[in-house]
Chain A
């Protein structure tokens, strides 16, 4: 069990997504609210393939985030031993939401209070304490698409690459009655239906990419007084390695008397599909990108995983509670059934412009059940950069960030302080990030 937890943690730590990944990429980005900072060239083509064709900015930098949060984390490791009294799966889950890369200055509280259940003949109420906060009023969703950095080989406008793909999505929803009982401590009432719905799926595939990116139009110096329009497309050939989904529904309806002589039966139905490497088929899809440069303004639109599908041969099973025996039954409905999964499309719109001495950048990411926006600014005063930013996160909360950068020749040190609510109870915490930057040319 301990090894399982540790392995799971390591795998997920290595494949964080979204804003959690941003904090590991750059302290400069973190200080600017996590906004996407572009600069042209192949290194910026992750979300917008057209950037492969965009000429690199005269002043660019390469940043390396320093894992200063790992030191206290390793010094005081959480227990992975489920028999240890201090074992807390909520603490471990929070680590997956927010890997300990940055140093926590204000750490969100881990759910740890007692749970109190009060029962009488016609009344049942549950005070879940801190845990109640993990049940949001609407759907609780965790979703991500992670494509490992592609190994690419390019010749002129054509390039080829390899990049595995991992995608997962979980949607947990309680009906109003059950939510009120669990999250708000409302008493369970007679003649009421309580229901829990959970839909989850995940898939892993190996991928090969073949792409094209080129200027569509260029006039003068696109990064100077001229203009340029750049486009790119990246076709993906995928080979399914593993797939699983589950659609679970648990329902019970209380009778006239909560705990009278009539038993209350929980009706559970779970429909599942699964496939292993030998059941994986071929999939396909593509990414599109467009970038416009003019007069110092840079606009980009990247669309990832357009019409991306993977074909499988799945095993379908149905699990349900047998009302006659009260036992749970797991039956196989079919084997080798053809099934096609989809990879959700995400859209990224980014903009960057220098207004006087201030660099302003913004982006909007849409997809995976959410829309996130980031806005950041950077002002260089001599060798010091002052940065600030804000964003709305996956929980629709505004997060704030700020920081400084100190440049000494070609090397710089960046510090960032940013708020975040990447934890089960969505409490706000504050992290300190640090990084090194290697500059080429003037200040970016």
Chain B
């Protein structure tokens, strides 16, 4: 998966934004770039265990997000919002979704998670959880680059005892909103 030339026409929009006293608001539906298998999975059965199980849902997605923007504007802030629904069929436990973002020279999984979405799983319960990242200078700085990389992992904590943990999760939204101002004319 490669988000090539993602903001092809954002270059023109950025130029126009750069000509006036406006802000450029870039809304990216990141979820639409993920495959169905990356957006939703079933998990289990996970028998009782003290050891969490981590799996990579999105492995090192290459994002050419701001190719047309970086020259004309400065990214002021970036907000990332994720919403996911978790369904626990059997067993109890917990799941934690993590979004990692890094520059083009760094493996995203070696950086701190930019967004963490934890949820407690109870048998027969379906839960929708939302998490928002805002005002993280490190992430905002990434949006000033021409390329960045993204990975998403999930960490399941099996039940301590009782029935095995089975269920499913589905990403409902993964939106990034970058607000930029003119750098110079």
Contact = CB atoms under 8 A, between A and B. Distances in A.
B5 to A, nearest CB: 5
B2 A115 contact: no
Interface string A241-258: 000000000001000000
Interface in B10-52: 10, 12-13, 16-17, 19-29, 32-33
A169 to B, nearest CB: 22
Contacts of B27: 116-119
A1 B185 contact: yes
Given A1-B185, A120-B29, A121-B33, A112 B20 contact: yes
A126 B16 CA distance: 12
Contacts of B5: 259, 263-264
Contacts of B8: 124, 252, 264, 266
19 contacts: A82-B184, A83-B184, A87-B182, A88-B20, A90-B20, A91-B20, A111-B22, A112-B21, A113-B22, A115-B25, A117-B10, A118-B27, A119-B27, A120-B33, A122-B32, A126-B13, A129-B22, A261-B1, A264-B4
Q: Name the residue in A113, A116, A181, A194 with the highest tally of chain B Cβ atoms < 10 Å from its Cβ.
A: A116
Given A82-B184, A263-B5, A115 B29 contact: no
B76 to A, nearest CB: 11
Q: Name the residue in B5, B24, B27, B181 with the highest tally of chain A Cβ atoms < 10 Å from its Cβ.
A: B5
A88 B21 contact: yes
A131 B20 CA distance: 9
A188 interface: yes
Interface of B: 1-10, 12-13, 16-17, 19-29, 32-33, 181-182, 184-185
A121 B19 contact: no
A86 interface: yes
B24 A188 contact: no
Nearest to B21: A88
Given A122-B32, A261-B4, A87 B185 contact: yes
Contacts of B3: 259
B22 A112 contact: yes
A85 interface: yes
B29 A119 contact: yes
Contacts of B26: 116-117, 119
A263 B22 CA distance: 29
A122 B6 CA distance: 10
A335 B5 CA distance: 37
Which 9 pairs, one residue from A and one from B, show the smallest C-beta to C-beta distance? A120-B29, A120-B32, A82-B185, A121-B32, A89-B19, A116-B25, A118-B27, A114-B23, A263-B4
A87 B25 contact: no
Contacts of A113: 22
Q: Name the residue in A85, A112, A260 with the highest tally of chain B Cβ atoms < 10 Å from its Cβ.
A: A260
A54 interface: no
B25 A86 contact: no
A111 B13 contact: no
Interface residues of A, number: 41
A86 B21 contact: yes
A179 to B, nearest CB: 13
Nearest to A110: B20
Contacts of B25: 114-117
Given A1-B185, A89-B19, A115 B13 contact: yes
Interface in A356-374: none
A116 B9 CA distance: 12
A111 B25 CA distance: 16
A260 B26 CA distance: 19
B176 to A, nearest CB: 9
B12 to A, nearest CB: 8
A351 interface: no
A416 interface: no
Interface in A96-110: 110
A128 B28 CA distance: 16
A176 B153 CA distance: 44
Contacts of B19: 88-90
A259 B63 CA distance: 11
Given A120-B29, A129-B22, A261-B4, 8 more contacts: A112-B21, A115-B23, A115-B24, A117-B10, A117-B25, A118-B29, A119-B7, A182-B12
